[in-house]
């Protein structure tokens, strides 16, 4: 005989089974975050929480963004479309102006019954000026959408500007007394409250940290982790820039030549970036700890990504908007419960446009047929399998267009405008990309091969 107690127990069991079949997603973005992380082999930077996540999931060692700038990169990842399609080729552009009916990654979850929430920077947000505002955060993507406030450059503490007057995109750092008042602290607090409030239903939580983006604001204890005399400026050959096309050097030209910083200031800049990275890692750790304590970890897919790379003096270049390795390569870690590849590194080439179809597949959702990446789920079970022939990155700056491909061994770059030019680097022999082989007779066949790969486009390069 079916009693009320039996009926309720059966209902609870069914609800539990449904929750297990609809996994949660914790989708974490760090702003201007390159691969200067412990788990990616950096000898100095301390990131125990990112490192722990990498040990539980798959660390992608050759992941590349589609555009080395915040707005285009994030729009591409969250729509699953490449910049030529989104038409977002700079900051302060809303992809909805061109694709009003697009279904974004968080919107797909929202449309299928997940609680879709945002805390912090997911789409483009000017930092520091627009921190705490909802501008460009695409309200259609979310059931809950909040931009936590942050003191940013108004933070009290010690620090200084590192460039002479008149240098745009200037470098500056602030060592604060405490984490209070910072947007990332507030975002972590809000995320923990949301997890607690919605632990009984499937959720997609986009958590956007703004560190280590400039200004380098972090509590003093994170600055104390890094001694100035331990900072190691990039070691560039004296003739490094001689074989780089003029067009490349005209993209945000003030970012070359170390932005007029001398070596002591370069050390301060490195220290600021590392301290900000460790501060972000600490806030990440608070959220991951809360996820475990609430019993949600076993049914939550965790994705950690940086929106693009960031030069730290390589080739005398700082910041972004370069399509060499340091700006195009990004950190990407996916921890999906039960996958055979967990705890391993993947050396296959992947692109940010592959994230949307991958996360959708993991959760049993059907994404729009217009997506321009391919699901990377097979790599979560077999990180060693062969994958794409090439990863594609591009940029646009004034009348200059740059397009790059990264293949297993080489990086090829083509420039149009301001005289144009080509670059070709052999990563087996020249991982620092110091010797441009494009004009070398010995590389003629390789150059032609890579021209054809770029001309054939991303569809021909798919696995």
Q: Any idea which residues carry the catalytic annotation?
A: 70, 124
Q: Which of 335, 205, 281, 275 is nearest to 50 (CA)?
A: 281
Q: Are 75 and 124 in contact (CB under 8 A)?
A: yes
Q: What is the DSSP track for 289-315?
A: HHHHHTT-GGGEEEEEEESS--EESGG
Q: Are 301 and 323 in contact (CB under 8 A)?
A: no
Q: What are phi and psi of 66, to 5 degrees?
A: -85, -20
Give the integer Cα–Cα distance in Å for 48 and 286: 12
Give the DSSP letter string of 364-415. T----TT--S---HHHHH-TTS---S-EEEEEEETTEEEEEEE-SSEEEEEE
Residues 339, 224: Cα–Cα separation, whole Å: 38
Contacts of 345 (CB under 8 A, 6+ apart): 58, 59, 60, 61, 383
Q: What is the chain's Cα-based Rg?
A: 22
Task: Output the CA–CA distances (angstroms, integers) from residue 321 to 93, 136, 229, 309, in the order listed.
Answer: 17, 20, 29, 9
Looking at residue 145, what DSSP letter applies?
A: E
- C-beta neighbour count of 33 within 10 angstroms: 28
Q: Which residues contact 325 (CB under 8 A, 6 or more apart)?
A: 309, 406, 411, 425, 427, 431, 433
Structure tokens at 75: 């729009």
Q: Which helix (H) or strand (E) holds 63?
A: strand 58-64
Contact 411/248 with Cβ under 8 angstroms? no
Nearest to 73 by CA among 108, 33, 35, 109: 33
Mention every residue, 6+ apart, whose C-beta is less than 8 A from residue 109.
Answer: 25, 116, 204, 363, 365
Question: Which ranges in 117-197 belong to alpha helices (H)?
Answer: 183-197
Beta-carbon contacts of 101 under 8 Å, excluding residues fewer than 6 positions away, are none
In this structure, is the dihedral angle defined by the CA atoms of residues 179, 182, 185 and 190, taken in order, positive or negative?
A: positive
């Amino acid at each position: 005989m079916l009693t009320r107690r039996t009926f309720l127990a059966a209902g609870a069991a069914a609800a539990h089974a449904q929750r297990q079949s609809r996994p949660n997603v914790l989708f974490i973005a760090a702003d201007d975050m390159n691969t200067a992380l412990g788990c990616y082999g950096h000898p100095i930077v301390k990131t125990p929480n990112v490192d722990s996540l990498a040990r539980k999931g798959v660390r992608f060692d050759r992941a590349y963004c589609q555009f080395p700038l915040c707005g285009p990169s994030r729009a591409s990842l969250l729509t699953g479309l490449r910049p030529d399609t989104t038409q977002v080729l700079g900051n302060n552009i809303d992809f909805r102006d061109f694709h009003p009916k697009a279904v974004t990654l968080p919107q797909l979850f929202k449309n299928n019954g997940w609680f879709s929430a945002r805390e912090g920077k997911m789409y483009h947000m000017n930092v520091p000026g627009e921190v705490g505002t909802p501008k460009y955060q695409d309200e259609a993507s979310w059931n809950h959408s909040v931009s936590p406030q942050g003191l940013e450059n108004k933070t009290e503490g010690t620090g200084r500007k590192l460039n002479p007057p008149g240098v745009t995109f200037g470098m500056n750092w602030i060592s604060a007394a405490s984490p209070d008042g910072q947007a990332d602290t507030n975002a972590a607090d809000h995320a923990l409250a949301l997890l607690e409030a919605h632990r009984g239903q499937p959720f997609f939580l986009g958590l956007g940290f703004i560190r280590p983006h400039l200004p380098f604001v972090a509590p003093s204890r994170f600055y104390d982790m890094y001694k100035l005399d331990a900072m190691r400026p990039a070691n560039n050959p004296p003739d490094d820039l001689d074989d780089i096309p003029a067009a490349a050097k005209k993209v945000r030209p003030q970012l070359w030549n170390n932005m007029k910083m001398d070596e002591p200031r370069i050390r301060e800049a490195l220290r600021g970036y590392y301290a900000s990275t460790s501060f972000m890692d600490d806030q990440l750790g608070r959220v991951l700890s809360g996820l475990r304590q609430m019993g949600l970890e076993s049914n939550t897919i965790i994705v950690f990504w940086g929106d693009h790379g960031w030069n730290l003096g390589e080739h005398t270049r700082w910041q972004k908007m370069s399509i060499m390795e340091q700006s195009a390569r990004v950190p990407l870690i996916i921890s999906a419960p039960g996958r055979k590849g967990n705890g391993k590194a993947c050396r296959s080439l992947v692109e940010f446009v592959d994230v949307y179809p991958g996360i959708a597949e993991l959760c049993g959702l059907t994404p729009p047929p217009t997506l321009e990446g391919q699901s990377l789920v097979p790599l979560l079970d077999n990180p060693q399998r062969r994958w794409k022939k090439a990863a594609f990155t591009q940029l646009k700056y004034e009348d200059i267009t740059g397009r790059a491909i990264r293949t297993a061994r080489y990086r090829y770059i083509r420039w149009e405008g301001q005289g144009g030019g080509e670059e070709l680097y052999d990563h087996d022999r020249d991982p620092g990309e110091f010797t441009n082989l494009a004009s070398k007779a010995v590389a003629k066949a390789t150059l032609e091969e890579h021209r054809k790969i770029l001309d054939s486009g991303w569809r021909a390069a798919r696995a």
